[in-house]
Amino acid sequence: MSLDIKKIQREHIFWDKSFREIGEELGVTKQYLSFQCSKHRNDPSKIYRELLEEFDQIKDKIELHQQLKIKRRLLQLTQKDIAQKVGTHASVVTRIENGELLHSIFISRMQDYLEL
C-alpha cells in the first residue's frame, strides 16, 4: 500500500483530522499512519516545509484561530511551547485555537511569535 504522506499530513494539520479518522478512511491504524508520517525516509521536514509554503498561500482564507493552530503545528511546536513564549498557560492557547477566546492580548502575541 502506497500512502501519500503529504496528503495525510495536510488533512491532519490543515483540516484538523485525527490520524484515527484518516486511518479509518484508508483502512489502517492511527499508529501505522503516525509511524509512516514520522519515518525518516518519508522526509517529514521536507513535507512540513512544503505545507508551510502552501499555508502561506491560503492562510488569508482561514480564520485567525485556525491559522494560529495550523502554523504552530507546521512548526512542530506544542501548545505548552507557545504558552511559555507568550507568557500564558497552555489552556489559554487551547481556548484561542478552538475559537473560544476571541479577545486576548495573547492572540497578538501568538501572531507575532508565529509571524502571522
Q: Which residue has the higher pLDDT, 82 or 104?
A: 82
- Entry pTM: 0.87
pLDDT band at 1 (very low <50, low <70, confident <90, very high): low
Q: 43-63 b/e with 16+ CB inside 10 Å = b?
A: ebeebbeebeeebeeeeeeee
Give every CB contact of residue 4 below 8 A, 6+ residues apart in sequence: none
pLDDT band at 93 (very low <50, low <70, confident <90, very high): very high
Mean pLDDT of the chain: 94
- pLDDT(85) > 70: yes
Distance of CA 30 to the CA centre of its chain: 17
